[in-house]
Structure 1
């Protein structure tokens, strides 16, 4: 994969450092395709990440939210050394998947279903950041009434 040089953008933008660092991180995370996963939008402010975790028990999976990332990992507790496979197509090797979360997105729950780990996400924008209507008053009202701060 090729790397993108964002340095020309640094000269003409202010306050976008985090965005460019995020793009660098996402494009150079070195993750493999194992295990396969889906990311879907389930509503206006809800999302779901579905990870194929066939062969893993619930206590062998871990989900952790830290530093704006969701880290999903799995590690088999028991090894199948006593078994002799003729063909082994179900991979149960340890894994760690990192998903970068946008601001105000948090994991609201997780469940396993038919060999899939489903993580529900919700975006909760604080009231202070939501759009609000500003009342328009006439000049007479502005000069005669004190304004609340």
Structure 2
């Protein structure tokens, strides 16, 4: 019981500080240090250089992952392609054809819902053939469902 008293006292003190700050400011925010100090020219330049280096590194990673994804695609390793294309897209860079090709792969795996999503992304990013592929995918999905329904009947 002796150990609880200091904890209770600390909690009570924190609660009292919050109540005081609310009553004085009229909000629940506690302002610790309200002084704004702008970055110097050197600090801005360092920040810009660091951001440029980070972006260059992410672009390089994107290209490496994309290259590996297409190596897998050419070997018809669909899951490998999807894995490496996911890695590539996680870098923040993209290629509209990559979305299109992901749609092709998902369609080959009979995952039509995901294929349509990828085609829509490719279309949104400006890939010319995506709209036709999306319509074809919808037709393939209907045919696939019809075939599966007929298989179950047999």
Determine which structure has greater relative contact order: mean sequence separation of CA pairs < 8 Å that are 6+ residues apart, divided by chain length. Answer: 1
The interval holding the TM-score normalised by the smaller chain is: under 0.3
Give the TM-score normalised by the residue count of structure 1. Answer: 0.23
Q: Give the number of the structure whose alpha-carbon radius of gyration is greater.
A: 2
Structure with the larger strand share: 1
Structure with the larger helix share: 2
Give the TM-score normalised by the residue count of structure 2. Answer: 0.23
